[in-house]
Amino acid sequence: MTSVLDLAPVVPVVVVDDAADAVPLARALVAGGLPAIEVTLRTPVALEAIRAIATEVPDAVVGAGTVISARSVTDSVTAGARFLVSPGWTETLLDAMRASGVPFLPGVSTTSEVVALLERGVTEMKFFPAEAAGGTAYLKALSGPLPQARFCPTGGISPASAGTYLALDNVGCVGGSWMLPPDAIAAKDWDRVQKLAREAASLR
């Protein structure tokens, strides 16, 4: 599989409250040009949503986000997740993600965490929470001493700031949820989601 960082300029970070929304939401995102979809494990229906998207939206590359335990790694892959994203990492979690057989983006927010992952042969990471942890200035500073590390910054990124992140050499894509406004989801306005996804896909 192509690196998660190279599938699209933006990875939608999705919180699914109603499992019935998963498939139409995913279809709208894919139609808008955003095939990589991170479904966060923050709601009781998240695994059901991943399973539905994996089964019914073949053009989607669905992944699991907020993966924070070995159990959630196993559950996510069993449900059909094709990549894993964590907000941070431990040795136990890293071992579980590595053993899963699917690509993964462990979360980092400090230089020491990046170095520790590079030491273990991991070069692709999530930078979280991006804006709170130093934003583009921090990532630009990391590119000098640690050019081999590539990132998907997530957390507080907007359409206005996404382009600045994507212009950095060490950023493959960004994560965000601005193409999924709560009022559009509540109204099941999938055309609006598709339009916002298309705008996000054109950022690079």
Which residues are the active-site residues? 38, 126
The answer for residues whose C-beta is within 8 angstroms of residue 103's C-beta and 6 or more apart is 1, 3, 4, 82, 83, 84, 124
Query: Residue 126 forms beta bridges with which residues?
Result: 107, 152
Query: CA 176, CA 62: separation in Å to the nearest integer?
Result: 15
Three-state SS for 9?
coil
Three-state SS for 126?
strand
Half-sphere exposure of 121 (CA within 13 A, CB side): 3
65 with 85: CB under 8 angstroms? yes
Query: CA 81, CA 118: separation in Å to the nearest integer?
Result: 24
Burial label for 41, CB within 10 Å (0-12, 13-18, 19+), is buried
Q: DSSP string spanning 28-52?
A: HHHHTT--EEEEETTSTTHHHHHHH
